[in-house]
Amino acid sequence: MASLRDIKNRINSVKKTKQITKAMQMVSASKLNRAQRHSQAYEPYTRKIKEVVASIAASKTDATHPMLEERPVQKTAYIMIFSDQGLAGGYNASLFRSFMQTVEERHSSKEEYGVIVIGRIGRDLLKRKDITIFDEVTGLSDQPSFEDIKNITRLAVDMYKDQAIDELNIWYNHFVNPIQQDVTEKKILPLTDFAEEDQSNQSYEYEPSEEAVLEQLLPQYAESLIYGALLDAKASEFGARMTAMSSATDNATGIIDEQTIVYNRARQAAVTQEITEIVGGAAALE
């Protein structure tokens, strides 16, 4: 049976852990609020650029672009967004598990696909599985700017334009609420989702031509989809970490309460034993 000192040390240790998890919970909640504001502020830009591109793509002109044309898929690239740090529950594990299950069903060989990875944890997991990594980004800030991922977004778009890959998909955790993050796969290239878009009543005049506008806007639109997914994933990361730390804090509270009861019982037993010994000793002296 543990001594009173051992029980007391355990209670103090768990109290210190609880202080840490509570602080991390509060920090994650603050970061989540900022990440949500950042993501929401970026949405109007994505909607407007999509509206303009959809207007050209749905028009009856001859304007075309390689990024709008589907071709037989021989090699696929995946952009995967993980976190650089752990302590976020199943945020990284569920994403990786779902991805591996999908590619094993979809591809017969590792030569058919490769990954552009964001996040140290994801990079390490993919390397252990010996999966081809085209490029990687680690050490992003909690509120990343487009400049932080500009190189990999342009690499992905250029790989498609140069026909090094025939399809580009992105995998990330979509933020639903702080306790729910859904693993999401979204096709980035080719851009084929304009047919379902509701066209606005606005009309546009393009200078110098629709083809020239497409040449500039399509890469920017594809890059905006990637950046928007990153902002969404960041909100999911902080939500997952806040929930995980909240659960850890609750567990610590439960352990402290349980061990306090054990400590009080053990101390009561020790006091009772001492009284019994004193009474016994006094009786022996009579």
16 falls within a domain: no
9 falls within a domain: no
Instruction: Tell the burial category of 145 from Cβ atoms under 10 Å away from its Cβ (0-12, 13-18, 19+).
Output: exposed
Total domains in the chain come to 1
8 falls within a domain: no
Domain that holds residue 152: 25-243
**Three-state DSSP class for residue 126:** helix
127 falls within a domain: yes
Quote the pLDDT of residue 195.
Answer: 52
Quote the pLDDT of residue 126.
Answer: 95
285 falls within a domain: no
Amino acid at 33: N
72 falls within a domain: yes
191 falls within a domain: yes
The enclosing domain of 38 has a CATH number of 3.40.1380.10
For 231, what's the count of Cα atoms within 13 Å in the CB-facing half-sphere?
Answer: 20
Residuewise pLDDT in 10s, the chain (286 residues): 678 888 899 999 999 999 999 999 999 999 999 999 999 899 898 888 888 777 776 664 555 677 878 889 999 999 999 999 999 999 999 999 999 999 999 999 999 999 999 999 999 999 999 999 999 999 999 999 999 888 999 899 899 988 899 999 999 999 999 899 999 999 998 887 765 554 555 666 777 777 777 788 888 888 899 999 999 999 999 999 999 999 999 999 999 999 999 999 888 887 787 777 777 776 666 6
Alpha carbon separation from 116 to 135, 192, 212 (Å, rounded): 5, 21, 29
CA distance 32 to 128: 30
7 falls within a domain: no
